[in-house]
């Protein structure tokens, strides 16, 4: 199948891009890497009347260390560039799990965050770290925490004419990542990111709900107990009990819950395993 007809513009500033989206009255779409949008259009699951290509908008392509606590990633930073940066190893590892090299070469950080696929890696990392998303729209710039951005499967709190310009990722003290996918490059059935940010251990789990899930009970266990192997196991169990998931063609709900416990435990041991004493 081919995409339905559409117009195409390639603005050279963020203001022009917002104007083009505004003129389309909700029927326009930003195109960044095209790795999710083009398949959606080819299958006619989406029929935007105009594509606003932001690839020539300056200022969206770089990774900057703002201070010792924060890395700012421009919306057009490709997944492959995330895999190569060294400021945030958690982000590098997670990006390496996205699809295949062709997809990582084109796909963008802002695109992944705005697309909000429930099985995508970068939204899980954004929630685990407590990232802050910068967006620009007709009423000006605003910031949105990752947790407030994701509202449902493929659904965010961005308005129609808003464009993600950058994401601020806190640099964690320690972090761990674990993903269960049938084959490397497939979307994860269960993806877990763990990050200690300003002394607090945060967990985010993807693939088990419509948005990344934070199992707060599990985080409370980690905050209130000595970090022994038994504590990590208890937290992993609590994380699996926190999710409500359903069966699909890829896995039964029971299997996903079991994998959540196992992969949470793995991510926790990768993050803090070296400091774990005997239980």
Total interface residues for ligand FAD by CB under 6 A = 28
Residue whose CB is less far from ligand FAD, 7 or 217? 7
Give residues 110-169 in contact with ligand FAD (rule: CB under 6 A): 110-112, 114-115, 117, 120-121, 163-164
Distance CA 232, CA 248 (A): 29
CB within 8 A of 72, min separation 6: which ones?
63, 64, 65, 66, 166, 167, 168, 169
Site string for ligand FAD, 43-82 (x = CB under 6 A): -----------x--------------------x-------
Phi, psi of 225 (to 5 degrees): -125, 160
Per CB under 6 A, the list member of 20, 31, 129, 132 interacting with ligand FAD is 31
Cα separation, 108 vs 126, whole angstroms: 14
Rounded to a whole number of angstroms, the CA Rg of the chain reads 19
Please, which residue, 99 or 234, has the CB nearer to ligand FAD?
99
Single residue of 63, 88, 93, 99 touching ligand FAD by CB under 6 A: 99
Interacting span for ligand FAD (CB under 6 A) from 25-33, 169-177, 195-203, 260-268: 25-33
For ligand FAD, give the closer residue by CB, 37 or 222. 37
User: Considering only CA atoms, which of 232, 230, 256 is closest in space to residue 244?
Assistant: 256
Question: Whose Cβ is closer to ligand FAD: residue 117's or residue 229's?
Answer: 117
As a whole number of angstroms, the distance between CA 4 and CA 266 comes to 45
How far is the C-alpha of 231 from the C-alpha of 119, rounded, in Å? 27
Q: Where are the beta strands (DSSP E) in 32-139?
A: 50-53, 63-67, 70-74, 132-137
From 216, 164, 209, select the one nearest 191 (Cα to Cα).
209
Among 29, 202, 234, 266, binds ligand FAD (CB under 6 A): 29
What 3-state class would DSSP assign to 195? Answer: strand
Check residue 28 for interaction with ligand FAD (CB under 6 A): no
Nearer to ligand FAD, 120 or 195 (CB): 120
Residue whose CB is less far from ligand FAD, 61 or 237: 61
Considering the complex, state which of residue 93 and residue 219 has its C-beta at the smaller distance from ligand FAD: 93
Residue of the chain from 34, 96, 209, 273 that contacts ligand FAD (CB under 6 A): 34
The sign of the torsion formed by the CA atoms of 57, 58, 59, 60 equals: positive
| Residues numbered 219-278 forming contacts with ligand FAD, rule: CB under 6 A | none
User: What is the sign of the dihedral through the CA atoms of 92, 93, 94 and 98?
Assistant: positive
Out of 11, 74, 107, 172, the residue judged to bind ligand FAD by CB under 6 A: 107
Q: Provide the binding-site residues for ligand FAD, judged by CB under 6 A.
A: 29-37, 39, 54, 75, 98-99, 103, 107-108, 110-112, 114-115, 117, 120-121, 163-164, 187
């Amino acid at each position: 199948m081919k995409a339905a007809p559409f117009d195409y513009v390639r603005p050279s500033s963020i203001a022009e891009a917002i104007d083009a989206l505004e003129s389309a009255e909700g029927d326009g779409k930003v195109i960044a890497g095209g790795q999710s949008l083009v398949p959606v259009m080819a299958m006619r699951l989406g029929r935007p009347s105009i594509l606003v290509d932001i690839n020539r908008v300056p200022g969206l392509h770089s990774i900057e260390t703002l201070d010792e606590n924060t890395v700012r990633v421009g919306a057009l930073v490709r997944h492959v560039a995330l895999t190569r940066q060294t400021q945030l190893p958690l982000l590098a590892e997670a990006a390496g799990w996205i699809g295949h090299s062709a997809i990582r070469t084109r796909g963008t950080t802002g695109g992944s965050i705005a697309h909000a696929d429930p099985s995508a890696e970068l939204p899980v990392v954004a929630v685990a770290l407590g990232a802050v998303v910068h967006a620009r729209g007709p009423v000006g710039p605003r910031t949105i925490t990752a947790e407030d951005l994701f509202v449902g499967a493929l659904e965010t709190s961005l308005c129609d004419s808003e464009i993600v310009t950058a994401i601020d990722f806190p640099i964690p003290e320690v972090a761990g990542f674990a993903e269960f996918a049938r084959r490397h490059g497939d979307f994860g059935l269960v993806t877990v990111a763990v990050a200690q940010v300003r002394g607090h251990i945060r967990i985010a789990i993807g693939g088990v709900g419509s948005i990344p899930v934070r199992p707060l009970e599990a985080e409370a266990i980690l905050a209130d107990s000595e970090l022994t192997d038994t504590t990590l196991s208890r937290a992993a169990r609590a994380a699996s009990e926190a999710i409500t998931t359903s069966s699909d063609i890829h896995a039964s709900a029971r299997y996903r819950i079991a994998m959540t416990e196992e992969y949470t435990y793995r991510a926790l041991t990768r993050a803090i395993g070296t400091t774990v004493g005997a239980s």
